[in-house]
Amino acid sequence: MTRKITVIRGDGIGPEIMDATLTVIDRLGAGLEYDFQEAGLAAQQSVGELLPETTLESITENRIALKAPLTTPVGGGFKSLNVALRKHFDLYANVRPAISFKGTRSRYEDVDLITVRENTEGAYLGEGAYTAPDGSRAESKMIATRKGCERVLRFAFELARRSQRRKVTVVHKANILKDVTGLFLNVARDVATDYDDIETEDMIVDNACMQLVLNPERFDVIVTTNLFGDIISDLCAGLVGGLGLAPGANIGERAAMFEAVHGTAPDIAGKGVANPCALLLAAAQMLEYIDAKPLADRLRLAIRDTIASGDRTTPDLGGSGTTDSFTRAICERL
């Protein structure tokens, strides 16, 4: 049966990497139907709105969106369109795999870990303000709820179990931020009792950062609060060759959105040299999510082989190819 997904081609290099990704998914025979919608600058230019209702309705109906990077113009009423989408659909789990690829300039060869970041609470509520008229003082609020902690923790443990991973590391700062991240840690300890088959450890965030840099192979699934997850997931992307290879999924009960982690890369937009891998790897996450794991595995293998051989890869990976040539090389391997 054909499955319909919402596709947002985005801004900057977005359309280039999205076209490449759809070419590869079609070649894979994933049998997906695309409902093209707009958001960001492209939407503003065509319909005068950054996040049109029709786009939100399409995601509500299809429950799955594949999204290229978006530009959030200053003064357009949004701090970040990505955050607005996550909020609107209550996409509480941000899932960021970091996997080493041979043939890249990554620092480590055997990293294979996933960061699960709580996406809706913590320090990212946007409820901050300057509290002195002269701007010399500012405050912001952090929130954690048992429900918010529990759902993302259960998500991480279920993910570990489903993908046959052995360990979940709960990252926190409960020694100092005793209330907000202390609650996260307490709930983690409760939830862990339902997952005897998975090793659980907890680690203070500063130590986790050091351990990740010294010995990333010791990690498997990391689960943490919003702010720490934001930082740690980019740190992990740095361990395996940068944002050009970093996909992300945002998962909720009602919808899921899959995206490249990098931005719109205006400096190379329109030049035909953007690396499509981050969005392709996000598409692999999406295929896994819709129970098409064999297709996801084939896609990852083709990407892996193409990068390892350096066949027609883009300049950011040290090659002299283009988005098109790289895409063709991946398609041939499928």
Catalytic residues: 124, 173, 206, 230, 234
* Stretch of 51-59, 112-120, 233-241, 261-269 lying at the interface with ligand ATP (CB under 6 A): 261-269
Q: H-type helices in the chain, by residue range?
A: 14-28, 41-47, 53-62, 81-88, 146-162, 180-192, 205-214, 226-239, 277-289, 293-309, 323-333
Exposure string for 238-268, b = 16+ CB within 10 A, e = fewer: bbbbbbbbbbbbbbbeebbbbbbbbbbbeeb
Q: Is 274 in the site for ligand ATP (CB under 6 A)?
A: yes
Nearer to ligand ATP, 198 or 278 (CB): 278
Nearer to ligand ATP, 168 or 260 (CB): 260
Packing angle between helix 323-333 and helix 293-309, nearest 10 degrees?
Answer: 120
Give first-to-last CA distance, the chain, whole Å.
22
Q: Is 264 in the site for ligand ATP (CB under 6 A)?
A: yes
Q: Is 244 in the site for ligand ATP (CB under 6 A)?
A: yes
Nearer to ligand ATP, 143 or 243 (CB): 243
At a CB cut-off of 8 Å and minimum separation 6, what does 54 contact? Answer: 37
Near ligand ATP by CB under 6 A: residue from 106, 275, 285, 313: 275
Considering the complex, what minimum distance in angstroms separates the CB of residue 163 from ligand ATP? Answer: 25
HSE-CB of 231 using CA atoms within 13 angstroms? 14
Q: Give the footprint of ligand ATP on residues 39-78 (CB under 6 A).
A: 69, 71
* Stretch of 86-94, 176-184, 227-235, 268-276 lying at the interface with ligand ATP (CB under 6 A): 268-276
> How many CB atoms within 10 Å of residue 121?
21
Considering the complex, what minimum distance in angstroms separates the CB of residue 85 from ligand ATP? Answer: 15
Q: How far apart are CA 187 and CA 193, in angstroms?
A: 10
Q: Give the footprint of ligand ATP on residues 276-305 (CB under 6 A).
A: 278
Q: Are strands 128-130 and 138-140 parallel, antiparallel or unpaired?
A: antiparallel
Considering the complex, what minimum distance in angstroms separates the CB of residue 267 from ligand ATP? Answer: 5
* Stretch of 109-117, 156-164, 227-235, 274-282 lying at the interface with ligand ATP (CB under 6 A): 274-282
Considering the complex, what minimum distance in angstroms separates the CB of residue 186 from ligand ATP? Answer: 36
Near ligand ATP by CB under 6 A: residue from 35, 288, 311, 316: 316
Closest by CA to 262, choosing from 7, 46, 10, is 10
At a CB cut-off of 8 Å and minimum separation 6, what does 25 contact? Answer: 32, 283, 287, 299
Considering the complex, what minimum distance in angstroms separates the CB of residue 316 from ligand ATP? Answer: 4
Nearer to ligand ATP, 55 or 82 (CB): 82
* Stretch of 52-60, 250-258, 263-271, 281-289 lying at the interface with ligand ATP (CB under 6 A): 263-271
Both tokens of residue 254?
């009602």
Exposed, middle or buried by CB within 10 Å (0-12, 13-18, 19+), for 223? buried
Contacts with ligand ATP by CB under 6 A: the residue count is 17
Q: Give the footprint of ligand ATP on residues 204-243 (CB under 6 A).
A: 243
Binding site for ligand ATP (CB under 6 A): 13, 17, 69, 71, 243-244, 262-268, 274-275, 278, 316
